[in-house]
Structures are given as C-alpha cells and as structure tokens.
Amino acid sequence: MTAILTITLNPTVDLSTSAEGIVPERKLRCTRPLTDPGGGGLNVSRAITALGGNSTAFVALGGPTGDKVMRLLAEAGIGVYPFPAPGETRMSLTATDTATGEQYRFVMPGPDWGERDVSKALTRIARAAPEGGIVVLSGSQPPGVPVDFPARLAAKIARTKARLFLDTSGKALHNLLKAKSPPADLLRMDELEAEGLAARPLPTRADSADFAQDLVRRGLAHAVIVARGSEGNVLATREGRWFAKAAKVQVVSKVGAGDSFVAAFTLALARDKPLPEALRHGAAGASAAVTSPATDLCSARDVKRLLSQCPVSEI
C-alpha cells in the first residue's frame, strides 16, 4: 500500500458531551465527556486506521494538552511525526442538546505561529514526505500561519516524489487562485467554499463539475472535488467528470464527515483503486460518518455496507 502522511498544524483535544436543554444562565449537568485527538489531518489518520489502513501523522504539539494528544494517538495505534508547536495545543468542545438533537461546537484558535515556525514546518514536512506516497493537508491553520501556506507547501512537495492532497478553505483556498505554485494532485472543497471561490451559485452537479474542471485547467490541481452535501460529491480532471451519490442515511452528527471522505478516498487511491472508485469510497465514508455521534468518524463496517448505495456516474 502507498504510504500516507497527514499534516495537522492546529490539532486539538476534542471533548464531546451532552445535556438535556442547553440554555443560558443555568448550570448544565452534562454526561461524562468523550475525549479524542482532533484536527483535520488527525481525523483523517484516525479514519484511515478505522478502515484498516495505516498513516503517519505530522502534528504540531505543545504543552500538557499536546502530550495528551500524543498519548491518545499512541492508544489509537497511529504513528506520529511530532513537530514542536510555539504554544499550548488547544482544546475544543462539542455539546449536544439531547432534547432537540442540536449540536453546539466551541472551537479554540490555537497558539500563535511566527514565520520561523512556518519555515521550519515546511522543511520538516518535505523531509517527512514519503517517496512515492501521499501527503494530506487538512484542517484549520493556527493564528500566524499565512494564507499562502498551502501554496508554499505545494512548491515544497513538488520537489519530492510525493503527491499532495489539499483540503483547505477560506482565505487559504482563495489564495491558491493567484498563487504561482505547482498544482496539487488533489484539491477538495465543499459546496459553499466552491460557490465563494466561483463568486456565483453552483445549483447543479454539472455546474460544480464545470467549475471544478475550470480549476484543473487553470492549474490549481490535477483533480478537484466539490462536496455537495447530502446530494453527493463531484470529481473533475482534464479528462473526465464523475458524480458519487451520497447514501440516504439518518444524520446523527455531521462532525467529521469531510475528514472521513478524505480518509476513505485517500486510502482507496493508496490501494491502487481508480479515481471513480476512490470517489465512491469517499462518498461511503462521509455517509457512514454522519450516522455516528459527536466526534466519532466512519467505521469499516458501515463504509462496506454503504458502498452499494453510493453509485458513481459520469457527468
């Protein structure tokens, strides 16, 4: 299997709990919290492990909370390439109101980075990139990391023999439009991010495919994925456009759906599946994730069960 390295600059200890009736100015009696290592790249590594694969997590860690993340990753059997963060690793909280089913997510910013930290991280990542392998950058950037970090990473990885998958958003995603960096092998975004980048609505899957293929032709990536929520996922390259339908499932929690998609998609490619088949695995991974509570991700059993409900068609 092709080696996989995930990158998490802004990890967190995810606490998830629940209470009946979340209202202001009251003491809320919560259930005992569940604790998981979190952050986009770490979630991808956790889901890859759950699906029977292996990856190494490049993760910036600092302070006692960072030590806790290390312990949690070791307990999960995930290999770690630690990088010293410039401050204490953050914590985040997900609280579910059991009376309504609504979820409240409190996400902290993480420590402040300087340019020296950024440069060191880029050098270390390039050194850790597996030859002939896949490097996945996913999740938020901590304060101080510039918006051109994904573009700079693409330039670094282009000098290695690894493939780069980017799952980014916000200003960092918009920066890729004007950056003169080498194309990533894969760029993924959700429907709202795609519409923001396109500066227009994308009401149909054909619209998403047109936009994704335009980004490929403009040199942002060799393949672009647009996630269209409960409808499914669009993938475009220069040569083709495909749509993978999302399975019809009861949604328990949307937390981790995107990371589960990336994990299942990446693992399928690492196992030499063709792009359309990897897209189907990704759709099944996301569909499986939304059936699990709080910060739980997809499971191998659920992905296998839902694969048949995620057919792929050409657009």
pLDDT digits (tens, 9 = 90+) for 276-292: 999 999 999 999 999 98
- Assess whether pLDDT exceeds 90 at residue 70: yes
- Assess whether pLDDT exceeds 80 at residue 71: yes
- Assess whether pLDDT exceeds 80 at residue 293: no
Segment 15-24 mean pLDDT: 92
Give the three-state DSSP class for 231.
coil
- Check residue 253 and give its pLDDT: 79
User: In angstroms, rounded to a whole number, what is the distance separating the alpha carbons of residues 81 and 119?
Assistant: 17
Whether 259 is catalytic is yes
Segment 185-197 mean pLDDT: 95
Report the percentage of the chain scoring pLDDT > 70. Answer: 100
Identity of residue 133: G
Q: Which two tokens stand for residue 216?
A: 């490929």
Bridge partners of 38, per DSSP, are 12
> What's the domain range around 297?
4-314
Whether the CB-CB separation of 233 and 244 falls below 8 Å is answered with: yes
Segment 306-313 mean pLDDT: 97
Lay out the sheet containing 34-38: strands in order across: 34-38, 12-19, 90-97, 103-107
User: In angstroms, rounded to a whole number, what is the distance separating the alpha carbons of residues 255 and 241?
Assistant: 27
Segment 218-244 mean pLDDT: 96
Instruction: Say which DSSP state 163 is in.
Output: E
- Check residue 294 and give its pLDDT: 66
Summary mean pLDDT of the chain = 94
**Total count of domains within the chain:** 1
From residue 104, alpha-carbon distances to 13, 15, 42, 240 in Å are: 16, 12, 21, 39
- Angle among Cα 65, 71, 72 to the nearest 5 degrees reads 90
Report the percentage of the chain scoring pLDDT > 90. Answer: 89
- Assess whether pLDDT exceeds 80 at residue 295: no
**CATH number for position 101:** 3.40.1190.20
177 pLDDT band, cuts 50/70/90, is confident
Length of the chain, in residues: 315
Taking the whole predicted model, whether its pTM rises above 0.95 is answered as no
Segment 225-253 mean pLDDT: 94
Q: Which position among 259, 272, 296, 302 bears the catalytic label?
A: 259
- Check residue 163 and give its pLDDT: 97
- Assess whether pLDDT exceeds 90 at residue 103: no
Structural element, H or E, at residue 16: strand 12-19
